[in-house]
Amino acid sequence: MRHFAGANKPIAAICHGIQVLAAAGVLRGKTCTAYPAVKPEVENAGGKWVDVEVSGAYVESNLVTAPAWPAHPEWLAKFLKLLGTKIEP
Active site residues: 15-16
Closest of 74, 18, 80, 53 to residue 31, by C-alpha: 18
Closest of 66, 11, 12, 76 to residue 34, by C-alpha: 66
